[in-house]
Amino acid sequence: MSVSLRHLTCLAALLFSAVPAFSQSSSNGIAAIVNGNVITKSEVRDAVNAQEQMLRMQYQNDPGALQRELSSMRATALDGLIDRELVLAEFKRMGAAIKSQWVDDDVNGIIRESFKGNREAFVKELAESGMTLKKFRDMREKMMIVQAMRGKQAAEQPPATPAEVEAYYKKNVAKWRSGDMIKISTITIAKFSGEASATPASQRKMAEEIHSKLVKGADFATTAKTYSQDSHAEDGGAWDWMPRDQMKPSIANVAFNLKTGGLSGVIDDEAAYIIIACDAIKYGNSKPMNEVRQEIERAISNEKSKVVIDKWMEGLRKKAVIKKNGW
């Protein structure tokens, strides 16, 4: 995928719309009706396709996180499109309008920045991805309306207080810390052991049974020597000290959320099921609060805005007539 097409996909995803991934013969039944406006199943599929591309690029080094994000996105795709229709309907009800020149300036800015001002190349790439210039322009207009309406609701939030900044810093101090190291022990059960009777499902069941034994007090090292199938099994599953930034993100995220002596659940990690025991942690140094104060204040402002917007959206949903058929 070229850089410019990735950019277009990203823009489309902001609207829960996207470059079509299905042929014209795909089912185009009704996924939902919002105040009389139809959302088709193909629209939902297109939205899912666009966001899948974004997530796969974003989480290419963390398969576990990718699967969680994909599941969450697929479950909420239709609701996202419904919310967009509600906002657009509210904009229309208010009698508001967006100047055509603003939309034209926005599209021209994309052509200038992503295609070096070559309008012909921009239109050609749209056509190759199954999208017309008019459709793309309409998408951008809807996105601008939604952003403006959400921004209007979130405007004029009170600034973060010193107490809020301090509380946020303490809760999220790991974000600004570097040099963390950890000692862990692992029990690894391969999804495909080579035995004819073994399946991923049966191997997961074995991992869960092992986990149950550990929870009931079984010695981790002895259990690892008996069941684990990784290179550290003979050492009771024990690993040497490891810096966080050299660990696989899906493993590090679980391990560093454990307390010393803590035990993880069964982790589904690509080709294996893994159980982690945290043996010891050494935390690195964190940036002082004053160095990250502006970042914290922005984060708190975003959280407050989200609360307001969520409340506003809930009000729109309650007033609307929505029929969901699924997709």
If asked whether residues 103 and 197 sit together in one domain, one would say no
- Tell me the per-residue pLDDT of 260-299, one tens digit each, with 9 for 90 and over: 999 999 999 888 999 999 999 999 999 999 999 999 999 9
Residue 71 in any domain: the answer is yes
If asked whether residues 19 and 115 sit together in one domain, one would say yes
If asked whether residues 20 and 147 sit together in one domain, one would say yes
CA distance 255 to 233: 18
In the predicted model, what is the mean pLDDT of residues 185-189? 97
If asked whether residues 9 and 145 sit together in one domain, one would say yes
Count the domains in the chain: 2
Q: Is the pLDDT of residue 195 over 90?
A: no
Mean residue pLDDT across the chain: 87
CATH number at residue 254: 3.10.50.40
If asked whether residues 278 and 134 sit together in one domain, one would say no
What's this model's pTM, rounded to 2 decimal places?
0.65
If asked whether residues 149 and 36 sit together in one domain, one would say yes
In the predicted model, what is the mean pLDDT of residues 239-249? 93
Task: Please give the pLDDT value at position 57.
Answer: 77
Task: Please give the pLDDT value at position 28.
Answer: 66
In the predicted model, what is the mean pLDDT of residues 183-198? 90
Can you tell me whether residue 238 is helix, strand or coil? strand
If asked whether residues 195 and 54 sit together in one domain, one would say no
Q: Is the pLDDT of residue 2 over 50?
A: no
Gyration radius of the chain over CA positions: 25
Q: Is the pLDDT of residue 19 over 80?
A: no
pLDDT band at 222 (very low <50, low <70, confident <90, very high): very high
Other C-beta atoms closer than 10 Å to the C-beta of 246 total 8
If asked whether residues 87 and 47 sit together in one domain, one would say yes
Closest CA to 293 of 177, 180, 176: 176
Residue ranges making up the domain that contains 217: 180-283
- Tell me the per-residue pLDDT of 151-170, one tens digit each, with 9 for 90 and over: 999 887 889 999 999 999 99
Residue 170 in any domain: the answer is no
Exposure of 20 by Cβ count < 10 A (0-12 exposed, 13-18 middle, 19+ buried)?
A: middle
CA distance 128 to 6: 13
Residue 174 in any domain: the answer is no
| pLDDT above 70 coverage of the chain, percent | 91
CA distance 327 to 277: 41
If asked whether residues 87 and 219 sit together in one domain, one would say no
Residue 164 in any domain: the answer is no
DSSP letter (8 states) at residue 275: E
Contacts of 48 (CB under 8 A, 6+ apart): 73, 74, 77
If asked whether residues 210 and 270 sit together in one domain, one would say yes
- Sheet hosting strand 242-243, strand order edge to edge: 242-243, 181-190, 272-282, 267-269
In the predicted model, what is the mean pLDDT of residues 109-133? 87
pLDDT band at 249 (very low <50, low <70, confident <90, very high): confident
Residue 172 in any domain: the answer is no
Residue 169 in any domain: the answer is no
If asked whether residues 242 and 314 sit together in one domain, one would say no
Other C-beta atoms closer than 10 Å to the C-beta of 206 total 16
Q: Is the pLDDT of residue 236 over 50?
A: yes
Task: Please give the pLDDT value at position 56.
Answer: 83
Residue 288 in any domain: the answer is no
Task: Please give the pLDDT value at position 196.
Answer: 80
CATH number at residue 67: 1.10.4030.10
Q: Is the pLDDT of residue 21 over 90?
A: no
If asked whether residues 276 and 249 sit together in one domain, one would say yes
Task: Please give the pLDDT value at position 321.
Answer: 93
Residue 105 in any domain: the answer is yes
Distance linking the first and last C-alpha atoms of the chain: 27
